[in-house]
Structure 1
Amino acid sequence: MTSTSPSRDLRAALESLTTEAFRPELAEIDRLPTLEIARLMNAEDATVPAAVAERLPQIAAAIDAVAERMAGGGRLVYAGAGTAGRLGVLDASECPPTFATAPGQVIGLIAGGPEAMVTSVEGAEDSPKLAAEALDALALTPEDTVVGVSASGRTPYAIGAVRHARALGALTVGLACNADSALAAAAEHGIEIVTGPELLTGSTRLKAGTAQKLVLNMISTITMIRLGKTYGNLMVDVRASNEKLRARSRRIVALATGAPDDEIERALTATDGEVKHAILTLLADVDAATAASLLHASDGRLRAALERTRG
């Protein structure tokens, strides 16, 4: 009887993945002019949206399930290693300023912890135990959602996170860039964006990373739309923490109401800079306290609050 070494088994497993495939036609890429390499890379990147489009029904189904859990008070948790983990942390970190999500409402977990955002943490991605421990530290509940992210679809940390979350009754989503992945199989909602071989063999921070970013954008943004965090295509829950965002807040109120600048300034001052409240005071001709009460009664949904004033 013969046996193979773990390293040989891993090599064989990687060679079977489309994201790891070698492209002999690009073997001389380092000898090409910079402009030609840029054209090749741009052409490769242009294929990613089409690959995402093929999985829109699965993405939409996952988003509806996520939004339903979050509407009941659940959290959205991303879990991944390397580039996939960093993308999850990035998406989570953008939700508070963009949608005024509460602290801990959208969370990004990366194998190896915060240190792994800027450096490689040896062995972290190979440990499903670390993923389970990170989720246990969050006191995960059945109302929560865990999205495992992995280009290969075989990263133990991401798979471990999904399996542990599912065992606890949480909703699970597996986002991978290879077909028939273990990650997608482990999750209730499997999303496989098959982006094919990379320009640089195995560098899944390229097309696979772009695909993951596009899907994570959809998951967070459309979930927030479903939760009433927008009014049309306006970010009415934006948190104005700097001068640029304060200017954006004024512009959003102007676009939503058509009110003159002086009225917008008074409304924002009266509502302590809360865009959604300011819009309601102007469109419904109510004071700040009434606007706050109407929004509270409408679960923060501006359209619903407006309907209450017209009923």
Structure 2
Amino acid sequence: MRDAKVYNMKRALPRMSWHPHNLYNLWRRSFGALEKITNRVEYKETLNWRRWTAKTLLRAYHGDYINEKIFKRWYLPENLPDVRPPEATSLSATSELNKWALKDEAAEKAERLAEEEKKKGLAPVGSLMFSEVERRIDVIIFRACFAHSVYDARRMVIHGSVLLNGKKHTNPNTRLAPGDMVTVDPKAIRFLQPRSEPTVEDVEEVEEVAETEGKSTEESASDDAAESERSAETESASESEEELEKSTRRKRSQANRKPSHLLPGHDLTPFHLPPYASPFLFIPAYLEPSFSTCSVVYVRHPTARPGYSEIPTPWDADGEVVRLAWEWYSKRRMRIRSKSQLARMPENRQEA
């Protein structure tokens, strides 16, 4: 399997998954022992090594199953956004020129605008390097919370459990266009499967255990010498028997009770998410999911504005890891696409 050792504890690379091992690796990279290695303060390594490490961390989360050559040729944007801060803004230059020309009011206005732009900051456009990866149908299924991981989403698509605009689709490499609707078979979604309720056999086993425990408590109480202690133990045994009877009745009622989605008049689709999915449980703004129909609409392409990036990532969208990865790909990206390469291009519905 291609995803056999993706949650390796030694490498501790964050993946696009809700697996508890992945959550532990993410904690180690963010707040644990590997935080100093990820966000270095003193740089003893070369610049090229730091760029390669940042690229590895980003690619482990964004499309780690995509070959590196294919990623650089087809999934990097044609115009890679510039994440480097400008050396000198035009507003500061105009303010200095106005001061030299003795135009105090114009200089003050230019300085005020320059301060506002500095506070506002640049948009975290470095994360838009992976906007083409976010358009993939398997990534969209994972972002819409229909799968535990992107690997499960790929298997759903390959096994024919996904419809694209009402038609069966088995190519997980497809990049969607705005307005496309993806529908997932509810039988293939693990979140929709009812939780295992206690059966009648389990309840009978609990009753047998309760009877044996009650008998043992009675025998131990009869063996005691003091009558006062014996009476106290019998009272405690009766209380424990009552508690066991209550628990067995509760479990029997749960076993006989139907799941909530089978009750009449219940229109909502029940989702039984794992408790460790809460750090990843959010829907990006460019998706419109419908959990009652198990479908999601790709509304538009992801964007970024100052202080906010729509592409989910475990790293800071305007941080050093993204900047170093951008520097790596800006010098090593592939721009030549021959006719034979164009014939092998992954399906892109935007160009169709």
Shorter-chain TM-score range: under 0.3
**TM-score (normalizing by structure 2):** 0.23
**TM-score (normalizing by structure 1):** 0.25
Determine which structure has more spread, i.e. the larger CA radius of gyration: 2
Higher relative contact order (CA 8 A, sep 6+): 2
Structure with greater helix share of residues: 1
